[in-house]
Chains A and B, each alone.
Chain A
Amino acid sequence: MSAWDEQRRAWEAELARRPAPPASTSSGISVDPLYAPGAAGEGRDLSGIGFPGQYPYTRGLHPSGYRGKLWTFRQYAGFGTAEDANARYRFLLEQGQTGLSVALDLPTQMGFDSDDPRVEEEVGRVGVAIDTLDDMEVIFAGLPLDRVSTSFTINGTAAILLAMYLAVCEKQRVPSGKINGTIQNDILKEYVARGTWIYPAAPSIRLIVDTIEHCAAHAPNFNALSVAGAHFRDAGCNAVQEMGYTLADAVAYVQACVDRGMNVDAIARQISFFFYTHMDFFEEVAKYRAGRRLWAKIMRERFGAKDPRSWMFRFGCVCGGSTLTAQQPMNNVVRVSYELLAAVLGGVQSVFTAAYDEAFALPTEATAELSLRTQQVLAYETGVPAVADPLGGSWYVEDLTDRMEAAIAALLERIDGMGGMVRAVEQGVIQREIAQEAFRQQKRIESGEKVIVGVNRFAKPEEPQLALYEPDPRIRERQVARLAEVKRRRDGAAVRQALDGLRATARGTGNLMPPLLACARAYCTVGEMNGVLVDVFGRFQEPTSV
């Protein structure tokens, strides 16, 4: 018997005397107390994991990891009027932020104008209010749109906001090849988990395919679709479900493009991904490695993509969200730091680190700055970015990556069996699965099985008072005055003509982006454009059973 085998047997005997309690990841994948090579010291076969920058990209998209290019620090921000947002974006860029992420208020996301009495309390609250191209012009005034990429968390009205952004780039004379950014534009997860849906599934997916087709031809470096699992996760599902539902959504969108006769290699680069990174550290690393490998296989084998760039799973993430607690809020700084490390070890392309006061309100300037500094400390002080996929070859991480991939693939197969994601969502199946999982997780917290520091362990009766962001009570008044001024100045005949053109195209089958661009240039409002589309398309009917 070799020395190695002797050591292993001694370890096993010791373990048998003092058995370790069982443990599992947050998705319920059981984990051993130790991962080690098998008998006689041979390692597991790692030939399948490949090299960074090579199919199937288990180890990342770039041959030298982050050495060539760090991930993008992309803090989600925006509130109030266009001037307020412009000031915050200038501040963040001056502090070393490298990409913009525009938070829009709910009326903009749902297709209402700021002067609509039905939404008066929501104007400028959770993001900036945009009514017309004029607001876009002010938001991006003096910002280098040819050098900074801009991400919009916008879905129901994504095509409308894309038209406005392309129009503002036109005005700033940004060459189309330099327009860089993302619209989220992922309606399926809105039906399930985020709620800013407007039209039924079929016309919504038509709009998404229109934006992909338009960007592929006119703004090739703009991502027209960011398929988002983040909101499933924050709605309560686990890591396997998050990745599984997201890839199922992406399959549905790619299929819709293929069904329209588009070449998969012509549209694949328009698609990126977006997730939440939560607290189960190695599971998060494995989730991203498994997702990257599975997507490469899906694009190459299922859709027959030939261009290696089409196989690449590019993703951004948020660190924070529902893992942040209202109790002992400073603990959230620590949580976000660990989550960020997991995301970076998982090979992320861009990160939003949430502020520790997120459970209460929008961040103040000071808390937003600390969350940006969290990324800078990891990027510049720890040495972590120096080596590509530093956890690659870890017996545990490789094993967990394999098992996550198998679990995610099984979930995808089950959804295929239900007739695909669109059908599963329309029937409310995914919604119920997520609510059940959220309830299960909550019960684990209440029973103390899942520990959350400061919440169900180490809680204190007295909580410190934070200095929170207070919204300006005059936001709506200021925004409504801006809108009235734009409406007074614009050419009414041109507005009517542009809206008529939009209606005619919506009734037919043509690409809706050219008429939406014409509307944006004529200073039509979000509410006017959305009104035409609701007239023609109707509204989604939500399955409300829980």
Chain B
Amino acid sequence: MGGRLRVLIAKPGLDGHDRGAKVVALALRDAGVEVIYTGLHQQVDRIAAVALAESVDVVALSILSGAHLSLTRKLVASLDALGIRGEVKVVVGGAIPPPDVARLLELGVARVFPTGTPLGEIVKWFGALERRSAA
């Protein structure tokens, strides 16, 4: 189908630090990406439901509470339950200790952007993705 890449930026769990999520949202929007931002305190199954309803290409989780492994595992399971696990890439950003990067990748995460990742690097990574064909 082509068209603009659609990205859902989501804050799962109770963590309220949304600077990173909002700055990345503004940067991606500047780069021509269609960005949907969920707001705070989202339950993981709701994030997956929005991903389905909005037919997004990427779900970008922003987590600074230390709960990234468990929340990511739950999101991947929710996407699976909705049958869109193969179509939607998951990326994670936030306060991710180096040893957990590999653990997240093992859960099926496409890319991890720990705090300190240059914005340009994030934008470039998204820029290389293509809009999936709408089913």
A interface with B by C-beta (< 8 Å): 106-107, 109-110, 112, 118-122, 125-126, 190, 193-196, 234-236, 322, 325-327, 359-362, 435-436, 438-439, 442-443, 446, 455-456, 465, 468, 471, 542, 544-546
> Given A435-B22, A438-B22, A546-B25: A121 and B38 within 8 A (CB)?
no
Q: Check B97 against A468 for contact (C-beta < 8 Å).
A: yes
Cβ of A458 to closest chain B Cβ, rounded Å: 14
Shortest distance from the beta carbon of B41 to any chain A beta carbon, whole Å: 7
What are 5 A-B residue pairs whose CB atoms fall within 8 Å in the complex? A126-B66, A195-B41, A359-B95, A438-B23, A544-B39
CA distance in complex: A107, B17 (Å): 15
Measured between beta carbons, the chain B residues less than 8 angstroms from A234 are 17, 19
Q: Which residue of B lies closest to A439 (CB)?
A: B26
The CA-CA distance from A33 to B25 in the complex, in Å, is 38
Q: Are A361 and B66 in contact (CB under 8 A)?
A: yes
- Interface pick from B80-88, B110-118, B125-133: B110-118
Min CB distance B58 to A, Å, is 17
Counting chain B CB atoms within 10 Å of each CB, the highest count among A359, A468, A546 belongs to A546
B37 touches which one: A112, A443, A544 (CB < 8 A)? A544
Residue of A106, A119, A193 with most partner-chain B CB within 10 A: A106
- In angstroms, Cα B119 to Cα A475, docked, is 35
A236 touches B71 (CB 8 A): no
The verdict on A107 contacting B19 (CB below 8 Å), with A120-B70, A542-B40 known, is no
Q: Which of B14, B35, B95, B116 contacts A109 (CB 8 A)?
A: B14
Q: Are B114 and A125 in contact (CB under 8 A)?
A: no
CB within 8 Å of A: which of B48-107? 65-67, 69-71, 95, 97-99
Which B residues between 18 and 38 are near A, CB-CB below 8 angstroms? Answer: 18-19, 22-23, 25-27, 35, 37-38
Apart from A122-B67, A360-B97, A456-B118, 15 more pairs, CB < 8 Å: A121-B71, A122-B13, A125-B67, A193-B18, A195-B17, A235-B18, A235-B19, A359-B116, A438-B23, A439-B22, A442-B23, A446-B118, A465-B98, A468-B99, A546-B25
Contacts of A125 in B (CB 8 A): 65-67
Alpha-carbon gap, A73 to B94, bound state (A) = 29
A359-B41 in contact (CB<8A): no
Instruction: Tell whether, in the assembled complex, residue A544 and residue B38 are in contact, meaning their CB atoms are under 8 Å apart.
Output: yes
Is B108 an interface position by the 8 A CB rule? Answer: no
B43 with A326: CB separation less than 8 A: no
- Chain B residue at smallest Cβ distance from A234: B19
Report yes or no: B14 in contact with A107, Cβ–Cβ below 8 A: yes
C-alpha spacing A360/B64, complex, angstroms = 9
- Residues from chain B with a CB closer than 8 A to the CB of A442 are 23, 27, 119
Q: Which partner residue on chain B sits nearest A118 by CB separation?
A: B43
Interface size class of B (residues with CB under 8 A): 35 or more
Task: Report B-chain residues with C-beta under 8 Å of the C-beta of A119.
Answer: 13-14
Query: Which residues of B sit under 8 angstroms from A109, Cβ to Cβ?
Result: 14
A203 smallest CB distance to B (angstroms): 18
Contacts of A465 in B (CB 8 A): 98
Is B3 in the interface zone, CB < 8 Å from A?
A: no
Are A326 and B65 also in contact (CB < 8 A) when A109-B14, A122-B14, A439-B27 are?
no
Nearest neighbor of B38 in chain A, beta-carbon distance:
A544
Q: Which one, B13, B22, B43, B97, contacts A106 given CB within 8 A?
A: B13
Contact across chains for A190 and B16 when beta carbons are under 8 A apart: yes
Instruction: Take A322-B19, A326-B116 as given contacts and tell me if A546 and B37 are in contact as well, using a CB distance cutoff of 8 Å.
Output: yes
Closest chain-A Cβ to B113's Cβ sits at a distance in Å of 11
- In the assembled complex, B120 has its CB within 8 A of some CB on chain A: yes
| B41/A446 in contact, CB under 8 A | no
Docked complex Cα distance between A435 and B30 (Å)? 14
Residue of A nearest to B66 (CB): A125
A126 close to B65 (CB less than 8 A): yes
Q: State A193–B65 Cα separation when bound (angstroms).
A: 15
CA distance A195 to B16 in the complex (A): 4
A327, B66: Cβ atoms closer than 8 Å: no
Residues of B contacting A438 in the complex (Cβ-Cβ under 8 angstroms): 19, 22-23
Max chain A Cβ within 10 angstroms of own Cβ: one of B23, B69, B114: B23
Residues on the A chain within 8 Å of B99, using CB? 468
Most A CB within 10 A of own CB, among B15, B22, B70, B71 = B22
B41 contacts across to A, CB distance below 8 A: 110, 195
Kindly list chain A residues whose C-beta atoms are within 8 Å of the C-beta of B70: 120-121
In the bound assembly, the distance between CA atoms of A195 and B20 in angstroms comes to 14
The CA-CA distance from A196 to B67 in the complex, in Å, is 16
Distance between Cα atoms of A360 and B66 in the complex (Å): 9
4 A-B pairs with least C-beta separation:
A195-B16, A121-B70, A106-B14, A544-B39
Docked complex Cα distance between A126 and B67 (Å): 9
Q: Report A118 CB to chain B, min CB distance, Å.
A: 7
B103, chain A: closest CB distance, angstroms: 13
Q: Which of B22, B23, B115, B119 contacts A359 (CB 8 A)?
A: B115
Contacts of A126 in B (CB 8 A): 15, 65-66
* In the bound complex, CA of A542 to CA of B95 (Å): 24
